[in-house]
Amino acid sequence: MTANASPLIELAGVHKSYNLGMPNEAEVLHGVSFAIGRGEFVALIGPSGSGKSTLLNVVGLLERLTAGSYRIQGEETSGLDDAGLTLRRRAVLGFVFQFHHLLPAFSALENVTLPALMREGRVTSAQHERARAMLAAVGLENDMNKRPGELSGGMQQRVAIARALVLEPPLVLADEPTGNLDRASSDEVFVLMRRMHAELHTSFLVVTHDPRLAARCDRVIELVDGSIESDRSASAARA
């Protein structure tokens, strides 16, 4: 099977422009190419304005690329319509955002069961158990029925991680997951992501400003002005 042989995701010569065809047209990504394999833990770093978030949105199928190719598990995505993109997003991706992005009207547990609910219209008891186990794994067994507003920033981010991982997607995308947290919570959250990575063999692509965190990833991709400046293993980056 070629799908097994191909990497999890593969970008080749990806360009992304905004306001296409208008006087204020601006190209943000200039031919970005990289691939992520199964079980990799990758940091995406770069100065602000370098196009990190745009790249993450493209990888997350939230934005379409202007030119180039993006394959997920060997399948080209650039020709898919909105419904097709949504289904791939469901099947392959988990999201952790900088500002937690939990639904304030739902409890922590309900937030974690939402992905299952939107796929099947109900939450089986097995899925409920799984969501409880995930929340316990991120240290929130006593706060499952609280609303996000009653939780600290670090706790909210742990709920978001549990939600991203509950259906065990092959790839989790995290946009500055610790950017809004103090150092202690930020370490806690990062350690948690590494632990989940070790336990579930999920691939991670983490956008971060924090060189300390980047150094603790296996591989670091540096984006400058919309092009890849460097792409190397973390040990090499430290050297």
Interface with another protein (CB under 8 A):
57, 60, 62-63, 82-83, 86-87, 89-90, 94-95, 97, 101-106, 114-115, 117-122, 163
Question: Residues 108, 139: contact at Cβ < 8 Å?
Answer: no
Supply 186's token pair. Answer: 């930020």
Question: Residues 71, 6: contact at Cβ < 8 Å?
Answer: yes
Residue closer to another protein, measured from CB, 12 or 117: 117
Tell me the closest approach of the beta carbon of residue 218 to another protein, in angstroms.
25
Dihedrals φ, ψ of 92, to 5°?
Answer: -110, -30
Question: Residues 33, 228: contact at Cβ < 8 Å?
Answer: yes
Tell me the closest approach of the beta carbon of residue 83 to another protein, in angstroms.
6
Tell me the closest approach of the beta carbon of residue 3 to another protein, in angstroms.
21
Residue closer to another protein, measured from CB, 51 or 94: 94
Residue closer to another protein, measured from CB, 73 or 187: 73
Spatial separation of the C-alpha atoms in residues 92 and 71, rounded to whole Å: 12
Query: Which residues are CB-contacts of 146 (< 8 A; sequence separation ≥ 6)?
Result: 107, 108
Tell me the closest approach of the beta carbon of residue 148 to another protein, in angstroms.
11
Residue closer to another protein, measured from CB, 59 or 189: 59
